[in-house]
Chains A and B, each alone.
Chain A
């Protein structure tokens, strides 16, 4: 009995010790949490700068595994138990409404007055809102786009396609004439990336998932778009069946090996194609995703936002850190150092940055039109329902109309769960 008592005492002591350690000689230690990225040095430098500007505040950087799923799981479990072990953290664009609804994020309305909001792209601006309140500040932006082989298109006298029929035509024309070149590759494995791909066809045909508060995923526009994706594989044969297992890196690898004419991917692939020694260096062009004739093109928004843990013990300092990290100068610094695309529009006119990353200029128009996936706290559940159904439609296990009707039913069930 005595032993257990001492054991408890020991735990209690070590716990309180940890607590007081955070306030060492009047210092406050903030914890900044984010997923693992390529080179951690730039972020460390940035945090050091923050510490110099804010004497008395220390920032500890903690990283999570690169897998987005694992990060989501970590935050959900820790925030559910009201953990205050981290103060400022980065969130995937699809998490903000969910975390906000759960009450895990501090309201940041006061940091985003109208004139400040205007400085960000419209997509992320929408994605950080929930019930007309702001819960995060956009940090990096990402969006789907088309990579094409400039040299091959020029060789046959084509320009970049604006509509899906145009892309289809070009691919059907060139691919048989160039040995070992697939027409068009994209990400069709059953995972979140599949949803990103499919939504671009829905939107490009004027379709929606939720329209005016009603589930509208089984609309004729969407059925048509999904059928088109299936047809590219089986009927038009511009897309190899292997896309049904492809993720970003699979397609990037094929395109980078000079084995495809068109590819849908995120901006990160550009730098890898332009690297010395790359087989396609100087041969790659980018353009926005095509749309169906007469409709607007849109690409799926990705990217990361910074928010503040509702249970933080240092809200004031956390806010300072958040403002610092999302400031124009910090976003510029990170863009120069790691090459991420800043969420602030003004930086796309920053001479130094453009000189260093000329690619950014052509991304501006794409980012302007990037659309968030349904901004709802139910998004994760909805996505889990969409993934297998889309996959089934691409494989021909279900007809697109069937798959979307079944998705529609399941989404309605999910939206009714709260009652």
Chain B
């Protein structure tokens, strides 16, 4: 009864579900992106590449794309560096290690909207805790140069624990004997880190990078709560812009065009990383 020829039948339900929930919406977004579709005007016509041509001239899109890269590069690199440092620290045996490990995870456990709201109050220019402690009146979220760094900081605060835990798991599978023999050969800490830890941790680092880059690239909630994309769109990312176009002003055609662009960006990032991963494994 259960033979190879039956395989297709068993896989079929999963494939159908997958098609319905992911592939069909993606195809539909493609289809919509070639239309001018304005819900309120009952307007729905094929316009070919018009939306894509408009996108090329749309300053707001380029601004959002730049912001998205800024946020992604800033948050992912900091999270990786800090996460690695924390992972190395927590990997050393010390008293209350289990407890500390659990505590480190707290920021990750708080829902993003809640923590973003919390930071919004801490960074408040008038009665915020931070300004109070600093005795200053810095307009953190209202200053176009500071708003994005603050958003990156909040994301780093929240997500570093996640990175640290993943890296720690990676550290624990590195055999201790390697370090012991390296020590006997007279290797210092730095040499051991570079020659043993980093190379063996590389696959885990890559996985972390894939997760984090994709997440950061689609960032929505942290920024939406903290600044709403302001001041003057200096923190508006692609997802926030797409949300505005799609759901606030109901321009389904152009909104889909934006989503398609996000899709392609995310897809190329994944392909890039996966290629590196495959090379690693060869």
B230 close to A191 (CB less than 8 A): yes
B232 close to A76 (CB less than 8 A): no
Interface residues of B in 208-259 (CB under 8 A from A): 227-233, 236, 244, 247-251
Residue A69 CB within 8 A of the other chain: yes
Residue B38 CB within 8 A of the other chain: yes
Interface residues of A in 359-412 (CB under 8 A from B): 377, 380-381, 384, 387-389, 391-392, 394-395, 397-398
CB < 8 Å: which of A69, A101, A188, A254 contacts B40?
Answer: A101
- Chain A's nearest CB lies how many Å from the CB of B64? 11
Among B125, B142, B247, find the residue whose CB has the most chain A CB atoms closer than 10 A: B142
Closest to A74 in B: B247
A241 close to B125 (CB less than 8 A): yes
Q: How far is the CA of A250 from the CA of B142 in the complex (A)?
A: 13
Specify which chain B residues have a CB less than 8 angstroms from the CB of A80 in the assembled complex: 39, 250
CB < 8 Å: which of B42, B43, B60, B231 contacts A395?
Answer: B231
B248 close to A384 (CB less than 8 A): yes
Interface residues of A in 243-288 (CB under 8 A from B): 243-245, 250, 253-254, 257, 259
Specify which chain A residues have a CB less than 8 angstroms from the CB of B124 in the assembled complex: 242, 245, 250
Q: If the complex has contacts A245-B139, A391-B233, are A380 and B249 also in contact, measured as CB distance less than 8 A?
A: yes
Specify which chain A residues have a CB less than 8 angstroms from the CB of B142 in the assembled complex: 188-189, 241-245, 395
Specify which chain A residues have a CB less than 8 angstroms from the CB of B249 in the assembled complex: 380-381, 384
Specify which chain A residues have a CB less than 8 angstroms from the CB of B107 in the assembled complex: none
Residue A72 CB within 8 A of the other chain: yes
Residue A418 CB within 8 A of the other chain: yes
Q: If the complex has contacts A69-B248, A73-B248, A76-B250, are A190 and B230 also in contact, measured as CB distance less than 8 A?
A: yes
A72 close to B139 (CB less than 8 A): no
Specify which chain B residues have a CB less than 8 angstroms from the CB of A377 in the assembled complex: 40-41
Closest to B253 in A: A417
Closest to B226 in A: A245
Specify which chain A residues have a CB less than 8 angstroms from the CB of B251 in the assembled complex: 381
- Chain B's nearest CB lies how many Å from the CB of A382? 9
The total of chain A residues at the interface (CB under 8 A) is 40
B230 close to A391 (CB less than 8 A): yes
CB < 8 Å: which of A259, A381, A397 contacts B144?
Answer: A397
B125 close to A102 (CB less than 8 A): no
Q: How far is the CA of A384 from the CA of B58 in the complex (A)?
A: 14
Q: If the complex has contacts A191-B230, A384-B248, A391-B233, are A101 and B125 also in contact, measured as CB distance less than 8 A?
A: no
A102 close to B39 (CB less than 8 A): yes
- In the complex, per-residue mask of A56-83: 1 if CB is within 8 Å of any chain B CB, else 0: 0000000000000100110010001000
Q: How far is the CA of A250 from the CA of B139 in the complex (A)?
A: 13
CB < 8 Å: which of B40, B139, B244, B250 contacts A241?
Answer: B139
Specify which chain B residues have a CB less than 8 angstroms from the CB of A398 in the assembled complex: 232
Residue B152 CB within 8 A of the other chain: no
Residue A40 CB within 8 A of the other chain: no
Residue A220 CB within 8 A of the other chain: no
Specify which chain A residues have a CB less than 8 angstroms from the CB of B127 in the assembled complex: 253-254, 257
Residue A293 CB within 8 A of the other chain: no
B41 close to A245 (CB less than 8 A): no
Q: If the complex has contacts A190-B228, A190-B230, A190-B232, are A245 and B141 also in contact, measured as CB distance less than 8 A?
A: yes
Q: How far is the CA of A245 from the CA of B141 in the complex (A)?
A: 6
Q: How far is the CA of A294 from the CA of B42 in the complex (A)?
A: 44
B126 close to A102 (CB less than 8 A): no
Q: If the complex has contacts A101-B41, A388-B236, are A242 and B126 also in contact, measured as CB distance less than 8 A?
A: yes
Specify which chain A residues have a CB less than 8 angstroms from the CB of B248 in the assembled complex: 69, 72-73, 380, 384
B231 close to A73 (CB less than 8 A): no
A417 close to B230 (CB less than 8 A): no
Residue B35 CB within 8 A of the other chain: no
Q: How far is the CA of A73 from the CA of B244 in the complex (A)?
A: 10
B126 close to A254 (CB less than 8 A): yes
Residue B158 CB within 8 A of the other chain: no
Closest to A385 in B: B60
Q: How far is the CA of A237 from the CA of B256 in the complex (A)?
A: 44
Specify which chain B residues have a CB less than 8 angstroms from the CB of A254 in the assembled complex: 126-127
Specify which chain B residues have a CB less than 8 angstroms from the CB of A418 in the assembled complex: 38, 41, 43
- Chain A's nearest CB lies how many Å from the CB of B189? 45
Q: How far is the CA of A243 from the CA of B231 in the complex (A)?
A: 11
Interface residues of B in 38-89 (CB under 8 A from A): 38-43, 60
B144 close to A73 (CB less than 8 A): no
Specify which chain A residues have a CB less than 8 angstroms from the CB of B60 in the assembled complex: 388
Residue A319 CB within 8 A of the other chain: no
A103 close to B42 (CB less than 8 A): yes
Q: How far is the CA of A275 from the CA of B244 in the complex (A)?
A: 38
Specify which chain A residues have a CB less than 8 angstroms from the CB of B250 in the assembled complex: 76, 80, 380
Closest to B228 in A: A191
B230 close to A250 (CB less than 8 A): no
Residue A240 CB within 8 A of the other chain: yes
Interface residues of B in 69-120 (CB under 8 A from A): none
Interface residues of B, Cβ cutoff 8 Å to A: 36, 38-43, 60, 124-127, 137, 139, 141-144, 227-233, 236, 244, 247-251
Known: A98-B40, A99-B40. 4 other contacts (CB 8 A): A101-B40, A244-B231, A384-B244, A398-B232
Interface residues of A, Cβ cutoff 8 Å to B: 69, 72-73, 76, 80, 98-99, 101-103, 188-191, 240-245, 250, 253-254, 257, 259, 377, 380-381, 384, 387-389, 391-392, 394-395, 397-398, 417-418
11 contacts between A and B (CB under 8 A): A101-B40, A102-B41, A190-B227, A240-B126, A241-B142, A244-B139, A245-B124, A388-B60, A392-B232, A398-B232, A417-B36
